[in-house]
Chain A
Amino acid sequence: MRLRRIAAASLLVCVIRTDAARRPRYGGELRIDTRATPQDPESLDPQIFSSAVFETLVKLDDHGDPQPWLAASWTHDKSRKRWVFTPRANVVLQNGSPWSPGPIEFADDRPIGEILRDLARPRNAIVIRGPDGSITGTGPFRIAMWEPGKSVTLAAQENYWGGRPFLDAIHVTMGRSLREQAIDLEVDGADVIESALRPRGLSYVSPPVAVLALEFDDRVAPAARQAVALSIDRAAIYNVLLQKNGEISGALLPRWLTGYSFLFPAGRDLARAKQLAANATLNFSYDRNDALMRAIGERIAVNAAEAGVVLRPAARGEVQLITLTVPARDVRTSLEDIAAMLKLPLSAGSPFEQERALLADSRVVPLFHLPRIWAMNPRVHNWPKLADVWIETEKK
C-alpha cells in the first residue's frame, strides 16, 4: 500500500471554499484598480497579492499558526540549532523549470515558532532572480506584463502545484484615485475597486487591518504629544466621518488579533490636555488628496485647538496622520514589523508589554482600526483570495 499523504495539502485545500452551489468557472480576466503605485513587483500590496506571485516556505493560517506551504516539513538536530526544511514536491517555477532546491539547511538558534513566523513574512518569499534581471516565483500567477507605477498583468500558471487558479489573468491598474475608481466600477471599467466607506452594492470588508494613528517626531515635547492625544474626540470622528466603519482603538494591533486592545485608553480628557498644552504650535501633515483623511485631519486640528495646541497644515510636519497596515495574522510578527516601520525599538516581554512600551511615550497615538473595503461587480466571487477568485461570464 502506498501511503503518500501530504499533510499540508489537506490543510491547504481546507481554505478553498467553493461557492454555494454555483461551480466556479475557469477563465476570464479580473480587472482591479488601486491607488498605490508600487515600483517593483515585490512592493505589490501584500494583503491581496502576497502568495499570488511569490510564495513563502511557511504560511500563517486563519488562526495565525504557521502551516507548511512551499516547505512540506522540517526537522532539526538534537541541539535545535540546525534546521532542515524539505521542499514540497511537484512545484514548478513560473518560467517552467521545476523548483527542486533539495533540502534547505540552515543554522538558527531562535525558537522554531519565531523561525516559522519569520519565514512566513512576504519579504522571505522564494524569488528566483535570473542573470538577465528577470524574477520568477512559484505562485499561482506569474507576471506577464509590468509597467512600474502604471499597471501589472498577472497570468495564470497552468501547472501551479495547488491547482491552476480559476482566473486566466488579473489586470491591475495603479494610481487611480478613489473617485476615478468609483467611476471605473460604474462604467464597467473595473471589477474590483478600493473604497473608503461601505458602498452600496457588493463589497468585501476585511477585518480591521489598518491602524489610523498620529505619529510624532521626536522633536515634539512629550507634554505636547499627550496634550494632542488627550484632546482628540474619537467618538465624533467615528460616528460622523467614518460612519462607524472599523472601531475606535488606543492600541496598535486590532482586537481580533490580540484580544486586549481595549486595555489601551482611547478616551478624551480635555481638561488634562489643556494643562499639558502650553500653547504649542506644530506642523501637521496628512494626505490632502484623500477626502476622508483630509476631513479627519481637519477635525483633529479643531480638537487640538480646543486644548490650546495649534496644528498647522504643512507638507511635512512634526505630526503626521499615518495609516499602518497590520502585516500578518500573528501578533509578534506584526509588532516587530510595525516597530520597524516606525523606527522604534521593541522591548522584550509579552506582546502586551511590548505594545505598551511602544505606546508609552506617545510617539505614536493609535486612533482607529479600519477595515479595508473593496467594492466589486456582483460577478466576482471569492475575493480577496486571488487563487480562488472566479468571475461569472457576462449575462447576455
Chain B
Amino acid sequence: MTFRTKLLLISSFTIAGAVALVTGAVAVSVRRAFERADAERRGALLDQFRRQLVARGDEITREVEQAAQSPAVQQIAASAAEYDAAQAEAQQDSLDFLDVLQPDLTIISSAHWPARFGYKNDWDIAPADWTAEKAFLARIPMPDATATALVAARRGPSGKIVVGGRRLNPEFLKSLGMAPGMRALLWLAPDEVLDAQGPVSDPQKLASLMQGKSNVVQWTRDRASAEAFQTLPLMQNGKTMGVLLAGTSLREQIGLEQAILWIGLSVGGSGIVIGVLLGWWTTERITRPVERLAAAARAVEHGDWSARAEVASRDEIGELAQAFNRMTEQILEQRERALQAERVAAWRELARRLAHELKNPLFPLQITIENLQRARERSTAEFDEVFRESTATLLAELANLKTIIGRFSDFARMPAPHFEPVDVNETVRGVMKLYDARLGAIGRRIELENGELKIRADGEQLRRAIGNLVLNAIDAMPAGGTLAITTARIENGARLSVSDTGQGLTEEECARLFTPYYTTKQHGTGLGLAIVQSVVSDHRGKISVASEPGRGATFIIDLPEMQP
C-alpha cells in the first residue's frame, strides 16, 4: 500500500466515523421521542375501546330486555311454524343473535341458526352469566364458524329465556375515533383478525405479537409497513375471548430515520470525497518527489549511474534528494577509481603473466644464440651441428612464442557472439564427446534436463566455454575423480553446472578466479576461465563457483533464454 493510499484511508475513516456517530445519536433520540408519543396514543385508544364496550353492552342489554318482554316473543310457541320467528324479532332489534329458549335452555327459535329448534342452546356461556346483570362476551357456534359476540340474557314473564347480542365485527371498530396513522384490530382467532375495514390479510404475521415476543409487526418487506401494537385482552370468566390491538404506524418514524440516515450518508460521502481530493492534492506535494527519488534509486540499481533525483523543494524531501545525488556521485567516483585500480591490477597481472610466459621461450632463445656464437668460434663442423640444433630449437621456441601470442590474440579478439537457438543439452553432449578420450579414468556423471534446453546463444562460444570448464575440471583431478555436468531449466533461462572432485579452492582463490591469468595450474595460460567469463558475460549470464578445499569445485553458469 502506498503512503498516499494510507493517508487517504485514514482521512476517510476519520470523516466517516465522525459523521456516523452524529447520525446515530440523532436517530436514537428521534426514535425515543416517537415511541413515547405513540405509546400515549395507543393507551388512549384502548381506554376509549373499554368505554365503548361498556356502552354497547348496555345497549344490548336493553334490547334483549325489550325482546324478552315483547308480546311477539311471549307468544312464540314451542311448536308449529314459529321456529323462525326469532329472525324477525332479531332484525327488528338489530341484533345479530337472538335465541328464545325454554327454561331448560331448549331452543324454541334461533335467529342465526333456525334449524337448531329443539336442541339445547350451545353458546359458550358460564352458568353464572345466564343471570348476569350486564352484557358479557360469549362464543357462539354458527353453521360454518364460531363468532364472538357481546350478549345479554333475560328471563321473560312467561319463563322463556331470551339471549341475544351483537357480533364483534368491524362496525364496532369503526365507531372508535382514531388519529391518522393509528388503527384498532380485533383478534378473535389466529386466522380471524379484523380491523375497521374488515378481515385483515396475513393475520399470521401477528403470531409473534400474540406470543409476547415482540410488539412490532412488519407486514411487508417494506420496513415502513411496520406497526407497533399494544394489547388489551378481553377476558370472560378467565378465558380470553379476544384481544384488542391498538396500533400505531411506524411509517413516519422510519421515514424520518431513513431521512437521517440518508443525510448522514450523503454528508459522510461528500466529506470523504472532499477529504480524498484534498488529501490527494496534499500528498501530491509529498509523495511525488519521494517517488522520483525512488525512481532514481531504481535506475541506479539497474546500472544507470547518471540518474539523479530532482530537487524540487527546500524541505526535508529536497535535502533527501540532494543527499541522494551526492551519494550517487561519490559512489560513481569510487567505482571509477575501483575500476581503474582493477584495470591496473588486471594489467599488472597480465603483464606479469605475459612476462612469465614470454620469459620461458626467450631464455632458451638466448642460450641457443649464445651457443651459436660460441660454436662459430669453434670448428666449422661443430658449428654446423650446433647451427642445426640451435636453429631447430630456435624455431621451436619461436613457434611456442607464436602460440602464446596467438592465444593472447584470440582472447583479445574474441568475436561478437552470434545468437541463435541452441540446445544446451546437445552442446554438452557434443563437448563430452570431444573430451571423452581426455577424461580417461575420470568418472562421468551427466544429468541433463529433460528434453531440449533451448536458449539463444552463440553455439561455438558456448562449446568453448563448456570445454574450458571441462578441461579445468580434468586438470583439477590429476589423481582421478568424478566429473559431473548437470543442466537444468531455470526461470527464463538455463543453468549449467560443472563440478569436479579435485582439491577444491580457497575463498581467496574463488574470488580471484576469473581474473585473466589467475591460474592455479602449473601450466596453461590461465585464460580458460577468463574466456568462460567473457562468454558468459556476452550472453548476459552469470557465473559463480562454489568450493571448499579438499572437496572439489562446482562452476555454475546461468544463461538467459532470450537475448535482446
Direct contact of A and B (CB under 8 A): yes
Decide yes or no whether A240 CB sits under 8 A from chain B. yes
Contact between A236 and B113 (Cβ–Cβ < 8 Å)?
no
Contact between B143 and A240 (Cβ–Cβ < 8 Å)?
no
Q: Which of A240, A301, A312, A313 contacts B81 (CB 8 A)?
A: A240
Contacts of A302 in B (CB 8 A): 113, 115-116, 119
- A233→B119 CA distance, assembly (Å): 11
Q: A295 with B84: in contact, given A236-B118, A240-B117, A301-B115 (CB under 8 Å)?
A: yes
Interface flags, B55-94, vs A, CB<8A=1, else 0: 0000000000000000000000001110110000000000
- A197→B84 CA distance, assembly (Å): 15
Q: A240 with B83: in contact, given A298-B143, A301-B143, A313-B143 (CB under 8 Å)?
A: yes
Interface flags, A285-324, vs B, CB<8A=1, else 0: 0000000000100110110001000001100000000000
- A254→B177 CA distance, assembly (Å): 64
Q: How many residue pairs at the A-B interface have CB separations less than 8 Å? A: 34
Decide yes or no whether A239 CB sits under 8 A from chain B. yes
Decide yes or no whether A223 CB sits under 8 A from chain B. no
Q: Closest CB-CB distance, A333 to chain B, in whole Å?
A: 36
Decide yes or no whether A100 CB sits under 8 A from chain B. no
Contacts of B118 in A (CB 8 A): 233, 236, 240
- A74→B118 CA distance, assembly (Å): 59
Q: A240 with B119: in contact, given A295-B114, A298-B114, A298-B143 (CB under 8 Å)?
A: no
Contacts of B119 in A (CB 8 A): 302, 306
Contacts of A197 in B (CB 8 A): 81
Contacts of B144 in A (CB 8 A): 312-313
Contacts of B80 in A (CB 8 A): 240, 243
Q: A295 with B143: in contact, given A240-B79, A241-B83 (CB under 8 Å)?
A: no
- A239→B82 CA distance, assembly (Å): 11
Contact between A243 and B84 (Cβ–Cβ < 8 Å)?
no
- A180→B81 CA distance, assembly (Å): 21
Contacts of A298 in B (CB 8 A): 113-115, 143
Contact between A236 and B117 (Cβ–Cβ < 8 Å)?
yes
Number of A residues near B (Cβ < 8 Å) is: 15
Interface flags, B99-136, vs A, CB<8A=1, else 0: 00000000000000111111100000000000000000
Q: Closest CB-CB distance, B488 to chain A, in whole Å?
A: 87
- A306→B119 CA distance, assembly (Å): 10
Q: Closest CB-CB distance, B486 to chain A, in whole Å?
A: 92
Q: Closest CB-CB distance, A244 to chain B, in whole Å?
A: 9
Contacts of A236 in B (CB 8 A): 117-118
- A96→B143 CA distance, assembly (Å): 60
Q: Number of contact residues on B: which range applies?
A: 10 to 19
Contacts of B143 in A (CB 8 A): 298, 301, 313
Contacts of B83 in A (CB 8 A): 240-241, 295
Contact between A239 and B79 (Cβ–Cβ < 8 Å)?
yes
Closest to B83 in A: A240
Contact between A299 and B115 (Cβ–Cβ < 8 Å)?
yes
Which secondary structure dominates where chain A touches chain B? helix
Q: Which of B81, B114, B116, B117 contacts A243 (CB 8 A)?
A: B81
Interface flags, B225-253, vs A, CB<8A=1, else 0: 00000000000000000000000000000
Q: Closest CB-CB distance, B223 to chain A, in whole Å?
A: 42
- A243→B114 CA distance, assembly (Å): 15
Most buried by A among B113, B115, B144: B115
- A295→B81 CA distance, assembly (Å): 12
Q: Closest CB-CB distance, B108 to chain A, in whole Å?
A: 10
- A313→B114 CA distance, assembly (Å): 15
Contacts of B113 in A (CB 8 A): 298, 302
- A312→B114 CA distance, assembly (Å): 16
- A281→B83 CA distance, assembly (Å): 27
Interface flags, A214-244, vs B, CB<8A=1, else 0: 0000000000000000000100100111010
Contacts of B115 in A (CB 8 A): 295, 298-299, 301-302
Closest to A235 in B: B118
- A241→B116 CA distance, assembly (Å): 12
Closest to A306 in B: B119
Contacts of A240 in B (CB 8 A): 79-81, 83, 117-118
- A299→B115 CA distance, assembly (Å): 4
Interface flags, A192-212, vs B, CB<8A=1, else 0: 000001000000000000000
Contacts of A301 in B (CB 8 A): 115, 143
Q: Closest CB-CB distance, B38 to chain A, in whole Å?
A: 44
Q: Closest CB-CB distance, A2 to chain B, in whole Å?
A: 62
- A301→B144 CA distance, assembly (Å): 11
- A295→B80 CA distance, assembly (Å): 14
- A302→B116 CA distance, assembly (Å): 7
- A241→B113 CA distance, assembly (Å): 14
Contacts of A313 in B (CB 8 A): 143-144
Contacts of B81 in A (CB 8 A): 197, 240, 243
Closest to B119 in A: A302
Q: Closest CB-CB distance, A284 to chain B, in whole Å?
A: 11
Closest to B84 in A: A295
Q: Which of A311-347 contact B (CB under 8 A)?
A: 312-313
- A95→B119 CA distance, assembly (Å): 61
Contacts of A233 in B (CB 8 A): 118
- A240→B117 CA distance, assembly (Å): 9
- A308→B352 CA distance, assembly (Å): 130
- A119→B482 CA distance, assembly (Å): 134
Interface flags, A36-72, vs B, CB<8A=1, else 0: 0000000000000000000000000000000000000
- A306→B84 CA distance, assembly (Å): 21
Contacts of B114 in A (CB 8 A): 295, 298
Contacts of A295 in B (CB 8 A): 83-84, 114-115
- A241→B115 CA distance, assembly (Å): 9
Closest to B115 in A: A298
Closest to A298 in B: B115
Q: Closest CB-CB distance, A355 to chain B, in whole Å?
A: 30
Interface flags, A230-273, vs B, CB<8A=1, else 0: 00010010011101000000000000000000000000000000
Closest to A244 in B: B80
Closest to A240 in B: B83
- A20→B113 CA distance, assembly (Å): 48
- A193→B119 CA distance, assembly (Å): 35
Q: Closest CB-CB distance, A195 to chain B, in whole Å?
A: 14
- A239→B113 CA distance, assembly (Å): 18
- A243→B79 CA distance, assembly (Å): 9
Interface flags, B404-421, vs A, CB<8A=1, else 0: 000000000000000000
Contacts of A299 in B (CB 8 A): 115, 117
Q: Closest CB-CB distance, B237 to chain A, in whole Å?
A: 26
Closest to A296 in B: B115
Contacts of B79 in A (CB 8 A): 239-240
Q: Closest CB-CB distance, A368 to chain B, in whole Å?
A: 16
- A302→B80 CA distance, assembly (Å): 19
- A337→B113 CA distance, assembly (Å): 37
Contacts of A241 in B (CB 8 A): 83
Contacts of A243 in B (CB 8 A): 80-81
Most buried by B among A233, A302, A313: A302
- A302→B115 CA distance, assembly (Å): 7
Q: Closest CB-CB distance, A276 to chain B, in whole Å?
A: 21
- A299→B117 CA distance, assembly (Å): 9
- A85→B322 CA distance, assembly (Å): 145
- A197→B143 CA distance, assembly (Å): 26
Known: A236-B118, A302-B115, A313-B143. 13 other contacts (CB 8 A): A240-B118, A241-B83, A243-B81, A295-B84, A295-B114, A298-B113, A298-B114, A298-B115, A298-B143, A299-B115, A299-B117, A302-B116, A313-B144
Identify 20 residue pairs between A and B in the complex whose beta-carbon atoms are under 8 Å apart, listed by A's number: A197-B81, A240-B79, A240-B81, A240-B83, A240-B117, A240-B118, A241-B83, A243-B81, A295-B83, A295-B84, A295-B114, A295-B115, A299-B117, A301-B115, A301-B143, A302-B113, A302-B115, A302-B116, A312-B144, A313-B144
On B, residues with C-beta under 8 Å from A are 79-81, 83-84, 113-119, 143-144
> Shortest 5 CB-CB distances between A and B: which pairs?
A298-B115, A299-B115, A302-B115, A240-B83, A236-B118
On A, residues with C-beta under 8 Å from B are 197, 233, 236, 239-241, 243, 295, 298-299, 301-302, 306, 312-313
